[in-house]
Amino acid sequence: MDFTLDATRAEIAALTADVLARDPEHAWQALAKAGLLALALPEELGGDGLGPAEVAVVLTEAGRAGAQVPALAALALGVLPLNRMGSPEQRARWLPEIASGEVVVTAAPHEPSRPFAAEPSTEAVAVDGGWALTGTKTLVPSLAQARCVLVPATLPWGPGVFLVDPRAEGAEVHGTSLRLSGVRVGEADLLRDGSLADLRRFTLAGAVALGDGAVAGALALTTAHVRQREQFGRPLATFQAVAQQIADVYIASRTLHLAALSAVWRLDEGLDADEDLAIAAYWLAEEAPKALAVCHHLHGGLGVDITYPLHRHYGLVKELAALTGGASERLDRLGDLVEA
């Protein structure tokens, strides 16, 4: 199958790369101004009516640049699930503000030791015509910046997803963890179609797209370094051991790229994407951190210098591997699919 970007997606990739390169310090507002945060918004809300595939292109370029922007949270965990599961009122309330770059909306699919819990231990209890939420969420992307969090919880009839203000009374933010103690929300804060499976799919798709770019960016930095850096009067790239290690990183990068493209394509086409997402997420969690470790090794001390961008790629891959649930969790989920 040909996964070459079509003209629209190629233009999105080029524009994203250009915006991130021109103004790294104000990248988020620059992305918003260029319309890149509005790609998946419905046309009636000022967007382009595009989907996960175009969002994934933006995320991949953000990862390639090692950009320090809340793109994963706002786009994959905010715009996509809100657009799919939100009511017209919820979409109108939040999507334009996300697209403007003024607001970050994220999601909290994980609980302590329970990634992507199908039956959340976070409970929603009916109180005075609304709901009181109690529970703990972990590894919430961009939580410190978020104005709203999509919170899965168990209602009397099953799981649902609520829109929660992380600054509300009874909510406590500790790093990337959100603790809820009787946080009050209204009926209007319950998503119309709160599918935890859809939230998981968008989270994994966003993670593998961003991770694809992060590994590719680290590989580009490393190949440039070993071509320029000399040892014993020769470029490092001419040493056989170095060439073999670069080849290993290249294979890991290209495999993740193919797996991510396949998974996102299926999701975008409305096909069953679970198997492809599981494969891509496992490769991200298991192989991407190893590839970044090799990149660090080939850079020597330069790789851990905070003035050099490689540490951003490394940190991003580490966070994404955790967001997937980790390599063991992803391997277990692959096993479940094989048994099924």
Domain assignment of residue 90, yes or no: yes
CA atoms within 13 A on the CB side of 283: 24
124 and 136 share a domain? yes
Domain assignment of residue 69, yes or no: yes
Domain assignment of residue 324, yes or no: yes
At 37, is the pLDDT very low, low, confident or very high (cuts 50, 70, 90)? very high
The sign of the CA dihedral 40, 42, 48, 53 is positive
301 and 170 share a domain? no
Domain assignment of residue 275, yes or no: yes
306 and 253 share a domain? yes
The strand pair at 104-107 and 146-155 is best described as: parallel
Q: Give the C-alpha separation, 36 to 31, whole Å.
A: 5
231 and 287 share a domain? yes
Q: pLDDT of 75-117, one tens digit each?
A: 999 999 999 999 999 999 999 999 999 999 999 999 999 999 9
Give CA torsion, residues 216, 109, 280, 99, to 10 deg. -50
203 and 332 share a domain? yes
Domain assignment of residue 28, yes or no: yes
State the first-to-last Cα distance of the chain, in angstroms, to the nearest integer: 26
Percent residues over pLDDT 70 in the chain: 99
The strand pair at 230-231 and 234-235 is best described as: antiparallel
Amino acid code (one letter) for 61: E
Please check the confidence at residue 3 and state whether its pLDDT lies above 80. no
Domain boundary residue among 103, 129, 155? Answer: 103
Q: Give the C-alpha separation, 39 to 78, whole Å.
A: 13
The answer to whether the beta carbons of residues 62 and 16 sit under 8 Å apart is yes
Domain assignment of residue 34, yes or no: yes
| pLDDT of the residue at 134 | 98
For residue 123, the enclosing domain spans 107-189
229 and 296 share a domain? yes
Domain assignment of residue 2, yes or no: no
Quick one: which of 263, 256, 261 has its CA closest to 287?
256
Q: What angle do CA 217, 285, 273 make, to 5 degrees?
A: 95
154 and 248 share a domain? no
221 and 329 share a domain? yes
Q: Give the C-alpha separation, 53 to 1, whole Å.
A: 16
Domain boundary residue among 50, 81, 103? Answer: 103
Q: Give the C-alpha separation, 264 to 54, whole Å.
A: 9
The answer to whether the beta carbons of residues 121 and 114 sit under 8 Å apart is yes
Amino acid code (one letter) for 266: R
Domain assignment of residue 55, yes or no: yes
Quick one: which of 37, 43, 21, 68 has its CA closest to 311?
68
Please check the confidence at residue 306 and state whether its pLDDT lies above 90. no
| pLDDT of the residue at 36 | 98
DSSP-derived letter for residue 124 is E
314 and 273 share a domain? yes
Burial classification of residue 318, based on how many CB atoms lie within 10 Å of its CB (0-12 exposed, 13-18 middle, 19 or more buried): middle
Q: pLDDT of 137-168, one tens digit each?
A: 999 999 999 999 999 999 999 999 999 999 99
Other C-beta atoms lying within 10 Å of the C-beta of residue 27: 21
Domain boundary residue among 166, 189, 212? Answer: 189
| Rg of the chain on CA atoms, in Å | 20
- Residue 297: its H or E element: helix 288-299
Other C-beta atoms lying within 10 Å of the C-beta of residue 250: 16
Q: pLDDT of 5-24, one tens digit each?
A: 889 999 999 999 999 999 89
Q: Give the C-alpha separation, 20 to 224, whole Å.
A: 20
Task: Read off the CATH number of the domain in which 66 is found.
Answer: 1.10.540.10
What is the maximum alpha-carbon separation in the chain? Answer: 77
233 and 166 share a domain? no
Q: pLDDT of 225-274, one tens digit each?
A: 988 887 787 888 888 998 999 999 999 999 999 999 999 999 999 999 99
204 and 151 share a domain? no
| pLDDT of the residue at 307 | 85
Q: Which residues of 73-94 are buried (b: 16+ CB within 10 A; e: fewer)?
A: bbbbbbbbbbbbbbeeebbebb
Task: Read off the CATH number of the domain in which 254 is found.
Answer: 1.20.140.10
228 and 327 share a domain? yes
Q: How many domains does the chain have?
A: 3
DSSP-derived letter for residue 168 is S
